[in-house]
């Protein structure tokens, strides 16, 4: 009979631990996006570049409208997430069109196929063809390292290796490492300068 | 007693007429956006430009997750519309960053203040400052005329007249009229070529 409370406590502890780990993972995950968003905010405020994250594409199915203090309010009560047709970030830097996707991984390699849709890669190739600057920013969580890699070097890898698993070493060789800073948190435009 | 059916009939006719007009307005309204979207699709398919409409910004408050055939599905059950921080359309054309907002009006003038937020105008000014191509496309519904006007000429009007009501004549003088076509439906890049 004594076992029960202990088991319960142990289960509770395990649950708490799980939640903490998940919470940390999530916080880390949010932080990467937050860090990019705050960097973009810095770039805009300092008039260095105008780059925004695009809103998540959503298909709205049902909206309820009502009035509060004589004002029309709308509440979306049914909607679904839609597949992104392009990338997350775009804008202008030094007069050039810029377009990129940011991803993070817990592994020592980046799996292109499980992180990006083929039409997203196609989109980035096309941007390059049209004279824009297209790249990926990859955050290797476990190693706390961030790399920018041009879409040209991604294509080079795929053409040569024909695998979607890109090892960290490839980023070390063909990417540009971005150091974490204070403001901007992720000064990725410094890396962009090197691929312009 | 004979009056009633006639009144009823008249009311029904009026209602039908109202519905028809509203339907036409709506169809016309949808058509303008649809026409722009189909033009952008044409530009992309013909490899002329890569321009997309940004998704509507939405703040998601509650998501319900469930399984269908062992697949995770997500349904947004509470969300609100958010104010746009930028414009509706952006992309790349002839290596240049392009950014614009499209609006329609039933009047013989275009009211800037009631159609665009000041931060949207600021955004377009900044794009121009950074070397991008920034403009508005205005559809005058009643007159069935479409104009592209550069943000520079919008600024010129505001600086001189200091009113937010821009008459159709100003568009005739400083804008570029876009003829409706078959494919693309609104060949606005022809007008962009004139302000490059």
- pLDDT per residue over B59-88, tens digit each? 999 999 998 888 888 999 999 999 888 999
Residue A23 reports pLDDT greater than 90: no
**Structure tokens given for B164:** 């937010």
- Could you tell me which residue, A112 or A6, shows the higher pLDDT? A112
- What average pLDDT does the segment B143-149 reach? 97
DSSP 3-state assignment of B71? Answer: strand
Distance CA A16, CA A90 (A): 39
- What average pLDDT does the segment A119-131 reach? 97
Alpha helices in chain A (DSSP H): 3-45, 112-115, 118-129, 151-161, 168-174, 188-195
Pick A55's closest partner by Cβ from B44, B58, B99: B58
Q: What confidence score (pLDDT) does residue B20 get?
A: 40
Is the CB of B52 less than 8 angstroms away from the CB of A86? yes
Is the CB of B55 less than 8 angstroms away from the CB of A57? yes
Is the CB of A79 less than 8 angstroms away from the CB of B75? yes
For residue A77, the distance in angstroms to the closest alpha carbon of chain B comes to 5
Q: What confidence score (pLDDT) does residue B106 get?
A: 96
**Structure tokens given for B115:** 């159609």
Pick A75's closest partner by Cβ from B78, B95, B132: B78
Task: Tell me which residue of A133, A36, A136, A43 sits closest to A87, measured CA to CA.
Answer: A136
- Could you tell me which residue, B83 or A46, shows the higher pLDDT? A46
The verdict on B78 touching A (C-beta cutoff 8 Å) is: yes
The verdict on B177 touching A (C-beta cutoff 8 Å) is: no
Banded pLDDT at A21 (limits 50, 70, 90): very low
Distance CA B143, CA B105 (A): 10
Residue B140 reports pLDDT greater than 60: yes
Task: Tell me which residue of A119, A47, A121, A130 sits closest to A96, measured CA to CA.
Answer: A130
Q: What confidence score (pLDDT) does residue A17 get?
A: 43
Distance CA B72, CA B5 (A): 57
Kindly state the helix (H) or strand (E) to which residue A59 belongs, with its residue range: strand A58-68
A83: Cβ contacts below 8 Å, ≥ 6 apart: A57, A117
The verdict on A119 touching B (C-beta cutoff 8 Å) is: no
Is the CB of B47 less than 8 angstroms away from the CB of A126? yes
The verdict on B126 touching A (C-beta cutoff 8 Å) is: yes
Q: In B121-183, where do the E strands start and end?
A: 133-140, 145-150, 165-167, 176-178
B65: Cβ contacts below 8 Å, ≥ 6 apart: B72, B73, B74, B75
For residue B160, the distance in angstroms to the closest alpha carbon of chain A comes to 26
Task: Tell me which residue of A59, A61, A57 sits closest to A78, measured CA to CA.
Answer: A61
Among B3-12, B65-74, B153-162, name the most confident range. Answer: B153-162
In chain A, which among 136-175 make CB contacts under 8 A with chain B? none
Per the prediction, chain A carries an average pLDDT of: 87
For residue A145, the distance in angstroms to the closest alpha carbon of chain B comes to 30
**Structure tokens given for B129:** 């400052």
In chain B, which among 20-39 make CB contacts under 8 A with chain A? none
DSSP 3-state assignment of A43? Answer: helix
- Interface probe for A, chosen from B79, B86, B89, B151 (most Cβ of A below 10 Å), is B79
Distance CA A196, CA A190 (A): 10
For residue A29, the distance in angstroms to the closest alpha carbon of chain B comes to 18
- Could you tell me which residue, B97 or A73, shows the higher pLDDT? B97
Banded pLDDT at A196 (limits 50, 70, 90): confident
Distance CA A168, CA A110 (A): 7
Is the CB of B56 less than 8 angstroms away from the CB of A55? yes
Q: What confidence score (pLDDT) does residue A162 get?
A: 86
Q: Report the chain B residue with the minimal C-alpha distance to residue A85.
A: B52
What's the ipTM? Answer: 0.81
The verdict on B5 touching A (C-beta cutoff 8 Å) is: no
DSSP-derived letter for residue A82 is -
CA distances from B99 to A41, A45, B53, B73 (A): 18, 19, 10, 35
Residue A15 reports pLDDT greater than 90: no
Q: What confidence score (pLDDT) does residue A2 get?
A: 42
Q: What confidence score (pLDDT) does residue A26 get?
A: 41
Q: Encode B166-187: b = buried (16+ Cβ within 10 Å), e = exposed.
A: bebebbeebbbebeeeeebbbb
- Could you tell me which residue, A18 or A154, shows the higher pLDDT? A154
Of the listed ranges A37-46, A127-136, B4-13, B163-172, the one predicted with least confidence? B4-13
The verdict on B122 touching A (C-beta cutoff 8 Å) is: no
Q: What confidence score (pLDDT) does residue A51 get?
A: 98
| Percentage with pLDDT > 70 across chain A | 85
Is the CB of A95 less than 8 angstroms away from the CB of B92? no
CA distances from A126 to A54, A95, A130, B106, B143 (A): 18, 18, 6, 38, 38
Q: What is the pTM of this model?
A: 0.82
Q: Encode B126-153: b = buried (16+ Cβ within 10 Å), e = exposed.
A: bbbebebbbbbbbbbbeeebbbbbbbeb
Kindly state the helix (H) or strand (E) to which residue B156 belongs, with its residue range: helix B151-161
CA distances from A57 to A169, A186, B119 (A): 34, 25, 22
Is the CB of B54 less than 8 angstroms away from the CB of A55? yes
Is the CB of B55 less than 8 angstroms away from the CB of A60? no
Is the CB of A74 less than 8 angstroms away from the CB of B54? no
Residue B28 reports pLDDT greater than 60: no
Is the CB of B131 less than 8 angstroms away from the CB of A92? yes
Alpha helices in B3-56 (DSSP H): 3-45
- What average pLDDT does the segment A82-93 reach? 93
Are the C-beta atoms of residues B126 and B162 closer than 8 Å to each other? no
Per the prediction, chain B carries an average pLDDT of: 87
For residue B74, the distance in angstroms to the closest alpha carbon of chain A comes to 7
Q: What confidence score (pLDDT) does residue A158 get?
A: 95
Of the listed ranges A5-9, A101-105, B52-56, B174-178, the one predicted with least confidence? A5-9
Is the CB of B95 less than 8 angstroms away from the CB of A132? yes
| Percentage with pLDDT > 90 across chain B | 76
Q: What confidence score (pLDDT) does residue A84 get?
A: 85
- What average pLDDT does the segment B178-187 reach? 93
The verdict on A130 touching B (C-beta cutoff 8 Å) is: yes
Q: What confidence score (pLDDT) does residue B72 get?
A: 87
Banded pLDDT at B16 (limits 50, 70, 90): very low
């Amino acid at each position: 009979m004594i076992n029960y409370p202990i088991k319960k406590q142990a289960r509770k502890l395990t649950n708490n631990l799980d939640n903490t780990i998940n919470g940390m993972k999530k916080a880390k995950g949010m932080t990467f996006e937050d860090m990019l968003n705050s960097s973009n905010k810095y770039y805009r405020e300092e008039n260095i570049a105008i780059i925004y994250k695009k809103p998540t594409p959503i298909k709205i199915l049902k909206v309820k409208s009502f009035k509060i203090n004589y004002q029309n309010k709308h509440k979306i009560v049914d909607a679904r997430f839609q597949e992104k047709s392009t990338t997350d970030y775009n804008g202008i830097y030094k007069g050039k069109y810029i377009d990129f996707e940011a991803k993070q991984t817990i592994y020592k390699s980046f799996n292109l196929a499980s992180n990006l849709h083929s039409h997203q890669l196609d989109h980035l190739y096309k941007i390059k063809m049209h004279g824009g600057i297209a790249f990926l920013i990859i955050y290797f969580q476990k190693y706390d390292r961030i790399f920018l890699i041009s879409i040209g070097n991604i294509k080079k890898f795929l053409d040569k290796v024909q695998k979607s698993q890109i090892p960290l070493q490839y980023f070390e060789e063909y990417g540009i490492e971005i150091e974490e800073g204070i403001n901007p948190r992720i000064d990725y435009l410094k890396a962009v300068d090197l691929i312009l």
